[in-house]
Amino acid sequence: MTKETKLKLVAACAAGMEALVGREIRNLGIECQVENGKVLFEGTIVDIARTNVWLRTADRIKIILGEFPATTFDGLFEGVKALAWEEFLPLDAEFPVAGKSIKSKLFSTPDVQSITKKAIVNKLREVYHRPASVPLAETGSKFPIEVALRNDIATLTIDTTGSSLFKRGYRTEKGGAPLKENMAAALMMLTNWYPDKPLVDFTCGSGTIPIEAALIARNIAPGLKRNFQFEEWGWFDKNVLAEVKAAARSEIKQDLTLDILATDIDHRLIEIAKENARLAGVAEDIEFKQMRLQDFHTEKEYGVLVSNPPYGERLGDFSAVKPLYREMGEVLIPLETWSKYILTSDLMFEEHFGAKATKKRKLYNGALRVDYYQYWGKRKPREQKIEKGTEV
Ligand code: SAH
């Protein structure tokens, strides 16, 4: 595998995030194809490192080894065995096989997994000339494999990421109901916030939204502080990741002043949020304060508020959050120049809040179906240019 070898790759993501992941991949200068829950692209090991280090909204990057129709176990076995496993897996590779099956004749996942495993073992034995009597040691580096059947098509992938990309490595403690980091980044990417505008999250919890906002503003790559599965692989040039990380470090915007306020009613969460911001390297960018959202007021204009308030879902009682949503409306609706973005699973949110959203966007917070209610603020009047006698 050289630095030039092109591989078929896929960025897996949560439903609803595909377009954002696609936008991020294109921003890296890579063409891609957006599908349900995934974005397909071609790339080298350098691209594997770059996408892992840079993508804020994806879950993981996988290498696609092959795709073929499979309606029988024999067909699956032969199809898997025909793929070039030896190009990726050394003789001592540890290769757990995960499986899933959707709308396919081969629906028993344990069988699909074990057939796949057998076929790969068989292939490696053949290529490395090992007798069938001796089991493969599997004591070497790990290659997490997935066999996914969908509409009778089998897709075989190797995961390059390891623990999911939402784990940036800055969050030590989570508090009660944290957002995943890639979800928080997506929420920010869906706003009209620019780093020169004030930003507020008045239900900040462990600080995920303001921290992701600061990372975006400073152009700090989300994967700078973490490790990836591919680092274990012998054929993956060790320098590549180091180079990608070094380049990313040089792209951090140092001279920038941000106006981000993060508050929460729970002082313990404020302490956790502060610590997380420190670990993320953005402590200086965010002002943290313990406060009830009911007490929020501001003289500033044209700001952006993003909030992930309690949903009442856990208590199984939406009526518990009704007064809170009403109070949110009382505080926020008068701020006409502010854009407000609120994520909740409460379908009655607009009624409680007291205003109809400009736009709603369907998303998933983990397994929970949620809506992102967007209230666009008044636009800043264009700065009036006065030329001699003419107003433009
Ligand atoms: N996005 C956060 C999680 C937010 S959970 C994260 O990623 O960690 C909702 C938060 O709203 C909780 O932290 C809770 O303490 C806070 N909250 C509840 N009622 C509040 C109120 N009246 N004023 C301010 N914050 C409140």
CA of 149 to the centre of ligand 1 (A): 40
Ligand 1: distance of its center to the CA of 274 in Å?
A: 15
Question: For residue 266, which atom of ligand 1 is closest to its CA?
Answer: 15
267 lines ligand 1 (CB under 6 A): no
Q: Quote helix, strand, coil % in the chain, to nearest 5.
A: 30, 25, 45
pTM: 0.94
Which residue from 168, 264, 297, 308 has its CB within 8 A of the most atoms of ligand 1, so it is best to mutate? 264
Tens of pLDDT, residue by residue over 327-339, are: 999 999 999 999 9
Would the CB of 289 count as within 6 Å of ligand 1?
no
Q: Please give the pLDDT value at position 392.
A: 43
Taking only the tens place, the pLDDT of each residue in 248-265 is: 999 999 999 999 999 999
Is the distance from the beta carbon of residue 182 to the nearest atom of ligand 1 less than 6 Å? no
Q: How confident is the model at residue 382 (pLDDT cuts 50, 70, 90)?
A: confident
Return the ligand 1 atom nearest residue 201 CA. 1
The predicted structure's pLDDT at residue 381:
86
349 phi and psi angles, rounded to 5 deg: -50, -50
Q: What is the largest CA-CA distance in the chain?
A: 94
Taking all residues of the chain, what is their mean pLDDT, rounded to a whole number? 94
- Residue 219 CA, ligand 1 centroid: distance in Å: 27
Q: How far is the CA of 184 from the centre of ligand 1 (A)?
A: 14
Angle at 61 between CA 57 and CA 67, to 5 degrees: 130
Q: 245 C-alpha to center of ligand 1: Å?
A: 34
Average pLDDT over residues 234-249: 97
Of all protein residues, the one whose alpha carbon is nearest to atom 19 of ligand 1 is 265
Q: Is 205 in the pocket of ligand 1 (CB under 6 A)?
A: yes
Lowest mean pLDDT segment, chosen from 37-46, 170-179, 373-382: 170-179
Nearest by Cα to 308 from 170, 168, 183, 193: 183
